[in-house]
Amino acid sequence: MSESQLWLMLVNSVSGENKTARMRIWRALKASGAAALRDGVYLLPKSESARAVFAEQAQEVVAAGGMAHIVAFDGEDDAQHREFVRLFDRSTDYAELFGKLDAFKTEIAKLDEVEARRQAAALRRDIAALGAIDFFRSASRHQVESALADAEAALNARFSPDEPHAAKGVIPKREKAQYRGRTWATRERPWIDRVASAWLIRRFIDPKAKFRWLKKPADCPKTALGFDFDGAEFTHIGARVTFEVLAASFGLDSDRAIARLGALVHYLDVGGIPVPEAAGFAAIMAGARAQQASDDKLLHSMSAVLDALYASYSELPGGES
């Protein structure tokens, strides 16, 4: 069979009297993206993660006094395979999210920044969650991800104008010793990339760095090191955002924890591969911006968050610790 694919099936039975356990198991299986063939019979494309999901819920079933079996099998024929694949069609879910994104774009002008960022983070989280269970990559996926990028561009255009355009070229290597005790300048009311870049500068490049927050890039003093605006010494290059450019310039990108932070900043700044912590970090950032009128205090507040994230990432496999 040209379309043959291995599948996993969970067959389980829990007493109808144990409604709490039945509901908990059903919710977990629904969240995993499993398709219900009938009551107590669930299907997933075979993978290690699918087996882990079914194994965990099988344990829950047994703990609740029920019976559970995990069965691996091939599709009987191409027709059955196509029928199973249709059970995982996410087009309706993507259409619902597309409608929410469309409504959000029309509302941006009426929302304050905290609420706008909160809604954007929620939409980003919902799209990432749906993508995680879109096992056969629906044709609607790219459309919704493009719509999200458009919505976030509109959001940043209102609350973070003058975002830099990516320059072309290679990233030159720099020596930290030549960048100590300097004044660094970027646009005022910083958002994700600028805050993270300022944290990186002070934490790993120039511990005595002073920051100038500019009303417009043209206000940058000639003696200051500009970052994250067009024409700045450090800004977007190719596919990399300013945080990633700084990390690469000073040889910090070999630190896996900084690389993980770079992926987070990249996703929140220009999109790309979703990062689980992104929605929470963006919500914290929006709240901090609303609370702190001073950009220096805003950097101080967010530096504590970034320190904690760096420490957490360093503890993960492949981190520095």
User: Which residues lie closer than 8 Å to 221 by C-beta, 6 or more apart?
Assistant: 183, 185, 212
Could you tell me the CA-to-CA distances from 308 to 26, 267, 277, 292 in Å, in that order? 35, 19, 12, 20
Torsion sign over Cα 304, 313, 206, 235: negative
pLDDT of 16 over the 80 cut: no
User: Which residues lie closer than 8 Å to 304 by C-beta, 6 or more apart?
Assistant: none
Q: Are 258 and 252 in contact (CB under 8 A)?
A: yes
Q: To which residue do tokens 């259409």 refer?
A: 95
Mean pLDDT, the chain, integer: 91
How many CB atoms lie under 10 A from the CB of residue 261?
25
Give the pLDDT confidence score for residue 9 in this predicted structure. Answer: 97
Helix or strand (DSSP H, E) at 104: helix 91-107
pLDDT of 162 over the 70 cut: yes
User: Which residues lie closer than 8 Å to 241 by C-beta, 6 or more apart?
Assistant: 193, 262, 265, 266, 269, 270
Exposed / middle / buried, residue 44 (Cβ in 10 Å: 0-12, 13-18, 19+): buried
Q: How far apart, in whole angstroms, are the C-alpha atoms of residue 192 and residue 109?
A: 21
Give the pLDDT confidence score for residue 114 in this predicted structure. Answer: 84
**Domain ranges across the chain:** 6-86, 91-159, 176-315
pLDDT of 240 over the 50 cut: yes
- How do beta strands 210-214 and 183-187 pair? parallel
pLDDT tens, residue by residue, 146-158? 888 888 888 888 8
Q: To which residue do tokens 């591969």 refer?
A: 273
How many CB atoms lie under 10 A from the CB of residue 257?
20
Topology classification of domain 6-86: Alpha-Beta Plaits (3.30.70)
pLDDT tens, residue by residue, 26-45? 999 999 999 999 999 999 99
Q: How far apart, in whole angstroms, are the C-alpha atoms of residue 265 and residue 242?
A: 9
Kindly report each contact of residues 220-226 with a partner whose C-beta sits within 8 Å and lies 24 or more positions away, as own/partner.
Answer: 220/185, 221/183, 221/185, 223/183, 224/182, 224/183, 224/184, 224/185, 225/179, 225/182, 225/183, 225/184, 225/185, 226/184, 226/185, 226/186
SS3 of residue 35 by DSSP: strand
Whole-prediction pTM: 0.68
Q: Are 228 and 186 in contact (CB under 8 A)?
A: yes
Confidence of residue 2 (pLDDT cuts 50, 70, 90): very low
Give the pLDDT confidence score for residue 156 in this predicted structure. Answer: 81
110: its two tokens: 């009426």
